[in-house]
Structure 1
Amino acid sequence: MAESDAKARASAEAPGPTEIRSQLVRTELLKASAWLGLALLIGICIVLIQPILLIFAGIVVAAMLDGGTRLLGRILPIGRGWRLALVCLSLVAFLGWTILFAGSQIADQVATLQTVIMAQVERIAAWASEHGMGNVQLDAKTITENLAGTVGRVTAAVGSVVGALTSLVMIVVLGIFIAIEPRLYERGVAWMLPLKSRENFYITTARMGFTLRRLMAGRLLGMAVEGVGTWLACLAVGIPMAALMGLLTGLLAFIPNIGAIVSGILLVLVGFSAGTDTGFWAIAIYFVVQTVDGYLIVPMVAKQTVDLAPALVLGAQILLGALLGLLGLALADPIVAMIKVALEREAERNARSGTGTRAGAA
């Protein structure tokens, strides 16, 4: 009796303000909710862009550690955990050796590098003024401010030495945790997806991991070749601060295109500070090292990963560097590679579904 009275009251009541019976209105509200959710997601990404970049940098470090672990697995029949520990210990040992044996020499050279560079820049400015190109006044503060404005606004997390060291430690620790058990985090993300989307997710992440490992392996190889080659060549021809030039060239090789330009400018300026002949030797060293990297290492890596157009990478570096700062500039190449892998996978799925539809229609 009570249930029948309740049903009678419910049927007699008029629809409330939240009751939507029109299918058209319902559909439009769902579309509006989707667009609103997308706008909120973009806003959250903008606010949290630095943590997101740090997490992606940790993933890049994890890919390098995982690549080294897999490489050791081809020659050492031991467990994955032991191989990963060997890779991490080798990295720590290399950094310790660099600090202990080369640290004092490099520190002394860093102290004189700014003086040498500013002296060369002042000479160029004086030459420009003598040839009617205007009165150019440059100092270290002006150059630093211009570079900071060019590199981007979102640099609060790495804007100081303490912030940079803290971010670096966070990236390394995050990379080690991900490299210890990458499948755990992959399954965790897949768990939040619908069942029908998980197979595609696993295939896409597998391709992304393969591409990122090969890309970072090629990047490390290029850094080693450019750094050691520049160091030895500078020692051979008598260019000052050879160890520092090799170190800077190797580190800047992580950033394609822009890194090579910056390292080349520094090398040439330091070379001409020791004389005209040494300056021409610096130019020759730069072109030889970049030729080896550009025509041997880069094509070899491109065959194993995704072949990224230089203009596409440079455009992404300019955009991400201006928007996201130094970290965005350094991570532009792997970000573009991951996006390209995802788009290629989506195009492959669309092509297969289109082929299946046409076959069914026939």
Structure 2
Amino acid sequence: MSDEHALDADELEQLDQRGPAELNDPFVRREMKKAAVWIGMAVGVAALVILAEPLLLIFGGVVFAAILDGGTRLLGRVLPIGRGWRLLIVSLVALAFIAGTIWFAGFQLTAEFARLRDIVTLQINRLLALGATYGLGVETVQPQQLFEQAMSSLGRLTSAVSSVLGGLTNLVMIVVIGLFIAVEPRIYERGIAWMLPSDIRGRYFRTSDRVGKTLRHLMAGRLLGMAVEGVGTWLLLLMGGVPMAALLGLLTGILAFLPNIGAIVSGLLIILIGFSVNFETGLWAIAVYVIVQIVDGYLIVPYVAKKTVDLAPALVLGAQVIFGALFGIIGLALADPLVAMIKAALDQKSVDDEAAAEAETPPPRPAPA
């Protein structure tokens, strides 16, 4: 090789250095990790938006599994048989209740539903006419307009939930997922733990136990509230001669699953139906609503909060508004359990952090003699 093509020492040293395209270079690997994190976050957000409804259905299945598991544990206190048999009994009772409610509401109360719609529409139009006399300038509404406006206010991201077929399909999926999870919940818990680093699996199991216990107690309290509100409303309205007492009791019990919003909707229906008869019946309907809500608010809700987590009403209402606007009825129904699970997980994290801080703190030195 000629001298003009010979490489000096600096050029040879540059050739020995790694190029920017080599993956072994620490700088390249560091920048690729940063890019992977940003790309992963973008993909995760996109997947969350696209898979929002399936993820909510899975979470609904987890909530239903918590109900079944809680009932199985409760039944074990009075019936000393295997868990499989207890779960079978609870599952059959739950499925019978769901099927019976659908049959009772769909077939036995069809005529009353139509009557309820007409009465509510008439009463709302009376209120609007009263407002028009004071110069509010409002017009009358039709039942279909009320339904469409209510559905559009719950969000359009999952419009299929608004239809009867879509709602029944989602309900079936939630029930099936919940049954599979309730049969052997530890399989799924260990599967998630297997994907986590070994040094945080202990914290994961503690968090999972606390979240599961919170969800079981929350759902038990919610079912108790539904039963008390539904049966109490039905009996009290029946005593006061309010028409469609059975239908109003059923709707009140179902809507009790939705804190805050459900009570408002059921209360408006009860009061409108009561005043459709006469003024005295309307006052009785108001008294029934107040009594039922006092029992639920001052007895059942504090007891559930003591056993689970104390959720601020404004926090729950805000979560319901956001999830209802984004995901429709199913988001509205699952907002409260999701907030309770997040708060339970954060509480457990705080406990673990405090325990870790105390373990790292050296013991105090003894005082000099």
Judge same fold: TM > 0.5, yes or no: yes
Q: 1:316 to 1:15 in 2, by over 3 A?
A: same
Residue number in structure 2 paired with 1:172: 175
> How far, CA to CA, are the matches of 2:94 and 2:46 in structure 1?
38
CA offset at residue 135 of structure 1?
3.2
Tell me the CA shift for residue 358 of structure 1. Answer: 3.6
2:88 equivalent to 1:85: yes
Kindly state the Cα deviation for residue 103 of structure 1 after the two structures are TM-superposed: 6.0
Say whether the 8 Å CA contact 2:63–2:178 is kept in structure 1. Answer: yes
Output the TM-score relative to the length of structure 1. 0.91
Amino acid aligned to 1:213? R
- 2:275 is matched with which residue: 267, 272, 275? 272
Is the counterpart of residue 37 in structure 1 residue 40 in structure 2? yes
Asked if 1 retains the 8 angstrom alpha-carbon contact of 2:22 and 2:28, the reply is: no
The residue correspondences of 1:325-340 to structure 2 (distance < 5 A) are 325-340=328-343
Letter in 2 for 1:308: L
Note the residue ranges of structure 1 that are not aligned, 5 or more in a row: 1-10
Residues 353 and 34 (structure 1), Cα distance of their counterparts in 2 relative to 1, 3 Å cut: farther
Post-superposition Cα deviations, 1:30-56, rounded to whole Å, max 9, x if no partner, equal: 233223212211210111000000000
Question: Does residue 320 of the first structure (1) align with residue 334 of the second (2)?
Answer: no
What are the superposed Cα offsets for residues 235-276 of structure 1, whole Å, 9 maximum, x if unpaired?
100111111000000000000001000000111111111111
The one of 146, 151, 154 equivalent to 1:151 is: 154
> In structure 2, do the counterparts of structure 1 residues 170 and 102 end up closer, same or farther at CA, with 3 Å as the change threshold?
closer
How many percent of aligned residue pairs carry the same amino acid? 55
Which amino acid in the other structure matches residue 197 of structure 1?
A: I
What CA deviation, in whole Å up to 9, does each residue of 1:66-107 have, x standing for no partner?
A: 000001111111111100111122223444555667764422
User: Following the alignment from structure 2 to structure 1, what is the Cα–Cα distance between the partners of residues 23 and 180?
Assistant: 48
Determine which of 228, 250, 259 is the counterpart of 1:225. 228
Distance 1:172 1:97, change over 3 A: closer
Structure 2 counterpart SS, 1:82 = helix
Shifted more, 129-138 versus 266-275: the winner is 129-138
Partner of 1:346: 349
AA of the residue aligned to 1:143: L
Q: Which has the larger radius of gyration?
A: 2
Partner of 2:121: 118
What pairs up with 1:8-157 in 2 under 5 angstroms? Answer: 15-19=18-22, 23=26, 26-95=29-98, 98=101, 104-157=107-160
Residue 152 to residue 209, structure 1, CA distance change in 2 (3 Å): same
The one-letter code sitting in structure 1 at the alignment partner of 2:110 is A
Name the amino acid aligned to 1:66.
D
**Structure 2: how far apart are the matches of 1:111 and 1:149?**
21
Which of 263, 266, 271 is matched with 1:263 structurally? 266
Do structure 1's residue 205 and structure 2's residue 214 form an aligned pair? no
**Take 1:89 and 1:53, find their aligned partners in 2: how far apart are those partners?**
24
Please tell me whether residue 305 in structure 1 is matched to residue 315 in structure 2: no
Partner Cα distance (2:42, 2:250) in 1: 43
Q: Which amino acid aligns with 2:336?
A: D
The answer to whether residue 220 in structure 2 is matched with residue 181 in structure 1 is no
TM-score (norm: length of structure 2):
0.90
Does structure 2 retain, via aligned residues, the 8 Å contact 1:155–1:324? Answer: yes
Q: Residue 359 of structure 2 aligns to which amino acid in structure 1?
A: G
Q: Structure 1 residue 224: deviation in Å?
A: 0.1
Q: CA deviation at 1:198?
A: 1.1
Deviation at 1:136, TM superposition (A): 2.7
Using the TM superposition, name which of 19-28 and 267-276 deviates more: 19-28
Aligned CA RMSD, in angstroms, stands at: 2.2
How far apart in 2 are the matches of 1:100 and 1:314? 31
Q: Deviations over 1:163-217 (max 9, x none)?
A: 1111111110111111000001111111111111211111111111100000000
Secondary structure, aligned partner of 2:238: helix
For the residues of structure 1 that align with 2:149 and 2:171, how far apart are their CA atoms? Answer: 25
Q: Contact 1:63–1:213 at 8 Å: present in 2 too?
A: yes
Q: Which residue of 1 aligns with 2:284?
A: 281
Query: Letter of the aligned partner of 2:174 in structure 1?
Result: I
Structure 2 unaligned spans of 5+? 1-13
Equivalent position amino acid for 1:272 in 2: F
Aligned-residue offset at 1:312: 0.8
Contact 1:64 1:217 in 2 (8 A): yes
Structure 1 residues 98, 148: closer, same or farther in 2, change over 3 A?
closer
